Structure 1
Amino acid sequence: MREISSDITFEVEARQVASVRVSRSTRLTVRCGAVWVTRSDDTADYWLEPGQTLRLRRGERLWIGAEQGAAAWVAFATPKRVGERAVDWAARTAARFGVHARDGWRTV
């Protein structure tokens, strides 16, 4: 299992499942290929294509697999500045009340 605490990009090999633990609030972005993601705190699975993102919570665990029998590249990005963290917090709080910023992120 990998622990994500900073920006990193890695390959998810075909027919393999990567196990990841998120230690800081992070965004997962699919760079190449399609992936499925299962989250420890969620009953749903997520299918993401290149360019799509998923906002991740600190402490959750993920299982990521490549779709369609081909490898995929995923990138994790952590907020760098205090202002970005404030924006992330505000977006999460707004999402709890059903308000979405329509910024292209898939907030779950």
Structure 2
Amino acid sequence: MREISSDITFEVAADQTASVRVTRSTRLTVKCGTVWVTRSDDTADYWLEPGHTLRLRRGERLWIGAEGGAPAWVGFAVPARLTERVVDLAARAAQRAGVHIGDGWRTV
């Protein structure tokens, strides 16, 4: 079992199944190859190709295997923190409205 706590990419060998426990809300992205994913709290299995993503919930367990007899690469990315998203959205809204937001410093 490997805990996911930051952005990471790893290879799943063709003849292995990786067991992963998700410690934070995370996004799985297939980088190379095709994988199947079984989730602990879901009755469905997922077959994902390169570029496909799957949002993962904190506390769930995954079983990931490479499909088609070839290894696959999967990446896990922790989403940006909410405060970073809010600041980014506010900055974009201000820019569209023509308002300049500085960095908090003022020259006198």
Classify the TM-score, shorter chain.
0.7 to 0.9
TM superposition score normalised by structure 2: 0.76
1:72 alignment partner in structure 2: 72
Taking the aligned partners of 2:51 and 2:36, their CA distance within structure 1 comes to 14
Stretches of 4+ aligned residues off by more than 4 angstroms: 83-86
Task: Give the 3 Å change call, closer, same or farther, for CA 67–58 of structure 1 in structure 2.
Answer: same
Task: Name structure 1 gaps, 5 residues minimum.
Answer: 87-108
Corresponding residue pairs, total = 86
Where does 1:88-107 land on structure 2 (aligned, <5 Å)? Answer: none
Q: CA RMSD in A?
A: 1.4
Q: Which runs of 5+ in 2 are unaligned?
A: 87-108
TM-score of the two chains, using structure 1 as the length reference? 0.76
- 3-state secondary structure, aligned to 2:69: coil
**Bigger Rg, structure 1 or 2:** 2
- Give the direction of change, closer, same or farther, for the CA distance of 1:84–1:56 in structure 2 (3 Å limit): farther
Query: Offset of 1:34 from its aligned partner?
Result: 0.0
Cα gap change, 1:83/1:39 in structure 2, threshold over 3 Å: closer, same or farther? same
